[in-house]
């Protein structure tokens, strides 16, 4: 039996009287794209934050490839194999596209604490960085400052930086948010190509993209799972209709 890449066991989190994660358990299997959907305020981003390590759960456990990572901080979890993109695109705006990738590449190699050789002119770092960029098709934008990129390109760059750490599971928080139609399609294609290479937990409001991409869908309402299944299961589920799709 294949081990799950990511497993959440009985995760609970409340802010004061507000319960945002209510005894939540689910898994992300190797190579699958697992979509997490739910109305606003369902606790999706808080859940991502708990998997990522930026927010600690009140109780419950998080496992990555069977190893518990619950108490770890963000950098340790990233090193363990969790990659992430943010809701608001999050790149190094003062750097060029290539420099963004170089910083990620040297971090992946564990070489960030070196003091002698210049980083930006290093041939092997540059080669690695170009490889990172080519995964999302940004090679020809390498010399542009990140601040000059169009919104969609910046999201691509962020995805590339998240992939650069060679994650075992990738957390994508609304990668289509704010993107135009064309950009969404492009992003959908790229995520589709990642299927099988890396397990993906996808939060997305764009239902077309979700139904096209997701192998499994989990529906979250008020911090609890009301359904998990394939796209067909979910669109036919009356509970989901009532709680979520119907009200939209």
Partner 1 sequence: MSGIRNLIGLVYEGVKDNRLLWLLIIGFALFPIITHFADLPFWNDVAMRIMLLGMAAMGLNLVLGYGGMVSFGHAAFIGIGAYCAGISQFYGITNGWVHLGFSIITCGFAGLVIGYLALRTSGIYFIMITLAFAQMLFFLFVSLEAFGGDDGMSIDRAEFGFIDLYDPLRLYFLIWIALVVVGMGLMFIVRSRFGVTLRAIKSNASRVEAMGLSPLRFKIVGYVISAVVCGIAGTLFASWQEYVSPDIMHWTRSGELMIIIILGGLGTLAGPLLGAIVFLLLEECLPLLLGAAAPAYAENWMILFGPFLIMVVMFGRGGLIGLLSQLQVRRNARSDHRGP
Give Cα 166 to chain centroid, integer Å: 12
Measured from the CB atom, the residue of 76 and 148 that comes closer to partner 1 is 76
Query: C-beta of 107: minimal distance to partner 1 in Å?
Result: 4
Rounded CA separation 135/130 (Å): 9
Query: C-beta of 84: minimal distance to partner 1 in Å?
Result: 6
Measured from the CB atom, the residue of 78 and 240 that comes closer to partner 1 is 78
Instruction: Give the number of other Cβ atoms within 10 Å of residue 87's Cβ.
Output: 15
Kind plus residue range of the DSSP H or E element containing 200? strand 199-203
Rounded CA separation 38/221 (Å): 6
The upper half-sphere exposure of residue 80, i.e. CA atoms within 13 Å in the direction of its Cβ, equals 22
Binding site residues, partner 1, CB under 8 A: 73-76, 78-79, 83-84, 86, 90-95, 99, 102-104, 106-108, 111-121, 161-162, 164-165
Six-digit token pair at 166?
């060679």
Rounded CA separation 45/218 (Å): 14
Measured from the CB atom, the residue of 18 and 74 that comes closer to partner 1 is 74
| Burial (CB count within 10 angstroms: exposed 0-12, middle 13-18, buried 19+), residue 168 | middle
Measured from the CB atom, the residue of 113 and 181 that comes closer to partner 1 is 113
Kind plus residue range of the DSSP H or E element containing 198? none
Measured from the CB atom, the residue of 170 and 187 that comes closer to partner 1 is 170
Query: C-beta of 163: minimal distance to partner 1 in Å?
Result: 11
Closest CA to 54 of 89, 78, 23: 78
Query: C-beta of 229: minimal distance to partner 1 in Å?
Result: 31
Six-digit token pair at 206?
């764009």
Six-digit token pair at 10?
């009985």
Query: C-beta of 223: minimal distance to partner 1 in Å?
Result: 24
Instruction: Tell the residue number behind the tokens 């764009």, with chain if given.
Output: 206
Rounded CA separation 128/102 (Å): 8
Query: C-beta of 234: minimal distance to partner 1 in Å?
Result: 30
Measured from the CB atom, the residue of 95 and 211 that comes closer to partner 1 is 95
Query: C-beta of 38: minimal distance to partner 1 in Å?
Result: 24
Do residues 24 and 223 lie in contact, with contact meaning Cβ atoms separated by under 8 Å? Answer: yes
Measured from the CB atom, the residue of 33 and 78 that comes closer to partner 1 is 78
């Amino acid at each position: 039996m294949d081990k799950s890449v990511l497993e959440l066991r009985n995760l609970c989190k409340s802010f004061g009287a507000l319960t945002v994660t209510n005894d939540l358990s689910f898994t992300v299997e190797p190579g699958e794209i697992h979509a997490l959907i739910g109305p606003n305020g369902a606790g999706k981003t808080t859940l991502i934050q708990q998997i990522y390590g930026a927010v600690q759960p009140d109780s419950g456990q998080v496992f990555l490839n069977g190893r518990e990572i619950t108490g770890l901080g963000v950098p340790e979890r990233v090193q363990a194999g969790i990659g992430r993109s943010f809701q608001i695109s999050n790149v190094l705006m003062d750097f060029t596209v290539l420099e963004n990738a170089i910083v990620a590449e040297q971090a992946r190699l564990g070489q960030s604490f070196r003091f002698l050789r210049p980083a930006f002119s290093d041939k092997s770092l540059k080669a690695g960085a170009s490889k990172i960029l080519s995964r999302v098709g940004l090679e020809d934008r390498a010399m542009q400052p990140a601040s000059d990129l169009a919104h969609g390109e910046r999201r691509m760059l962020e995805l590339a930086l998240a992939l650069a750490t060679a994650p075992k599971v990738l957390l994508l928080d609304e990668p289509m948010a704010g993107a135009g139609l064309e950009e969404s399609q492009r992003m959908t294609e790229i995520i589709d190509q990642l299927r099988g290479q890396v397990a993906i937990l996808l939060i997305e409001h764009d239902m077309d993209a979700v139904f096209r991409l997701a192998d499994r869908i989990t529906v979250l309402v008020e911090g609890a799972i009301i359904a998990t299944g394939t796209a067909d299961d979910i669109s036919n589920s009356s509970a989901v209709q009532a709680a979520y799709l119907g009200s939209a």
